[in-house]
Chains A and B, each alone.
Chain A
């Protein structure tokens, strides 16, 4: 299999006063140049998944409770902290929601990107030369569509807008040339116009450099317009996974279709939005289908156990309405 990352049956618990099964049996792979969107509401486990894959979970309270993560022939759950460290940046690169928290406020943009280039040179045993690095900085800034590259390079993060700073993060990613880019809500704090700029830059980067990408978002519309495949998460489990087109146009899981009909695509005179009633709570879902308490199609059988992820057409769905075949 040519996947950059393969996650199989990954489970993570949070142990504090009680135990929360934050992730259960999560499996997926991402191939080079592919964007996997991980979509879910707050509490669905999507950010835990991003942190678990990159081994950034704070432990305690988090605990790996099973499964494995294979990244580029490294077993992430068995690797030593120094091995993990050497993968960060040049192996897997994370982009967080707020770029101001990720960038160093006391360093010029140029120096932050050069730092990335220096790390790459050291690890790949390339010769590092400051003058060529500075030229490279301008190239990267131009590829993330920063207009006046040399001017922006000598500024500090607080002098730039949120959208520009997020693109600076992507310029650093370009400098480090990672195999996997994990983006956790990278455009949530941005305006629609900045969001469109960042998404377009990301798409080009992924396609040109054949990175694999995991894109975490609560916004199904963005995921549909941007990702190749979408995994819909709820209650720490993948409820549906399939191509973006299939999940958006023909959702199988009642939760996925609820998310789609929640989107305001009509006018108020056309009647109320068909949303999802209720709210998510960890207390109600032990041993049953996680979505059962809110599902419009719920039956008694839904509460007899956790449904398996079964193959339906080209995708997979975790819902008892789709066969009793075991998951593949």
Chain B
């Protein structure tokens, strides 16, 4: 079975990551009867890699596990099994977080709730450096430099987040993420709460920072258009599993997995004025997933064995696909 794309010099290596969330409470009686605890398989056996100065896009709908995977990468959730390696250090098992401090950062969807309303902008940005060995003066100058880098004027540094516009706040969140010069930045839907014109500004900013300073991104999005613009590699996720993983060009222009095809067909395209094609049916419940391929109940090409066993990953010219259609 193919584990992941060959990629030398990967900064971040996720191998066989599994995250389960318990469902419901077990009463004492349930425990006595040894009634098994039920779990949601939020992330199920996912292996991915990100190379330096590249962007890996996790593309999927809500419930696909893309946000949980992002949170696992920065250590906001702990793995049930598997490994996440950041430049040789195991993120999931490292006891002293000092070794990781500042090397992983996250930008959240809603900057209004991710920035402390009582802190000045410059303090918000400087916070990741607070535990570093830098002098206070150096910390402030690093924070100011970071604000300039994201295109914010110096006079905004002493304002509160509530005095800024939504687009400016998201820039502050980006400034905070880059201030410690992290190895990997996880961007969780960074533009889905802002207008299109501001989205373009933020996306341009992220790309400029990557080109000039070599930042590595894991971008979580549900929007194939954002994915196309930002990605070097794309992992399409469905119900906790990777459906398709490969270079952005290949995944977007020649989607192989039936789910990728359906997802791309249901997104309206700027250059076509036709109504997007809907995918029939609803995703199955996360608690009682189908035994075989998770997309089988909605798949137009479903075969008998899809309903029986989960397809492994098959290699197809640079991309890997979890679908029996490619079992030759």
A176 to B266, CA, bound (A): 29
Contacts of B282 in A (CB 8 A): 147, 161, 163-164
Contacts of B198 in A (CB 8 A): 41, 275, 279
A191 with B61, Cβ < 8 A, contacts A200-B275, A224-B273, A226-B275 known = yes
> Contact at B196–A259, with CB atoms within 8 Å?
yes
Contacts of A219 in B (CB 8 A): 196, 268
> Contact at B268–A275, with CB atoms within 8 Å?
no
B141 interface hit (Cβ, 8 Å) = no
Instruction: Pick the residue among A193, A275, A276 that contacts B278 (CB under 8 A).
Output: A193
Contacts of B276 in A (CB 8 A): 192, 195-196, 199-200, 225
A265 with B270, Cβ < 8 A, contacts A196-B279, A199-B275, A218-B195 known = yes
> Contact at A268–B61, with CB atoms within 8 Å?
no
Contacts of A306 in B (CB 8 A): none
A100 to B280, CA, bound (A): 22
A203-237: CB near B (< 8 Å → 1, else 0) gives 10000000000000011111011100000000000
Instruction: Pick the residue among B204, B265, B270 that contacts A221 (CB under 8 A).
Output: B270
A245 with B273, Cβ < 8 A, contacts A218-B195, A275-B201, A275-B204 known = yes
- B83-91, B99-107, B221-229, B317-325 - the one binding chain A: B221-229
B218-253: CB near A (< 8 Å → 1, else 0) gives 000011111011100000000000000000110000
B261-305: CB near A (< 8 Å → 1, else 0) gives 011011111111111111111110000000000000000000000
Quote the shortest CB–CB distance from B79 to chain A (angstroms): 26
Contacts of B201 in A (CB 8 A): 275, 277
> Contact at A41–B196, with CB atoms within 8 Å?
yes
Contacts of B62 in A (CB 8 A): 191
Contacts of A200 in B (CB 8 A): 275-276, 278
> Contact at B200–A276, with CB atoms within 8 Å?
yes
> Contact at B61–A193, with CB atoms within 8 Å?
yes
Residue of A nearest to B201 (CB): A275
B68 interface hit (Cβ, 8 Å) = no
A194 to B63, CA, bound (A): 13
> Contact at B268–A41, with CB atoms within 8 Å?
no
A127 interface hit (Cβ, 8 Å) = no
Quote the shortest CB–CB distance from B134 to chain A (angstroms): 32
Contacts of B195 in A (CB 8 A): 41-42, 218
A60 interface hit (Cβ, 8 Å) = no
Instruction: Pick the residue among B61, B196, B229, B262 that contacts A218 (CB under 8 A).
Output: B196
Instruction: Pick the residue among A163, A191, A267, A274 that contacts B229 (CB under 8 A).
Output: A267
> Contact at B203–A273, with CB atoms within 8 Å?
yes
> Contact at B199–A193, with CB atoms within 8 Å?
no
A193 with B203, Cβ < 8 A, contacts A218-B195, A225-B273 known = no
B187-200: CB near A (< 8 Å → 1, else 0) gives 00000000111111
> Contact at A262–B196, with CB atoms within 8 Å?
yes
Residue of A nearest to B59 (CB): A192
Chain A contact residues, CB within 8 Å of chain B: 41-42, 145, 147, 161, 163-164, 191-197, 199-200, 203, 218-222, 224-226, 244-245, 248-249, 258-268, 272-277, 279
Given contacts A196-B276, A226-B275, A273-B203, 8 further A-B contacts (CB under 8 A): A147-B281, A194-B61, A196-B266, A196-B279, A199-B275, A220-B270, A279-B168, A279-B198
Chain B contact residues, CB within 8 Å of chain A: 55, 61-62, 165-168, 195-201, 203-204, 207-208, 222-226, 228-230, 248-249, 262-263, 265-283
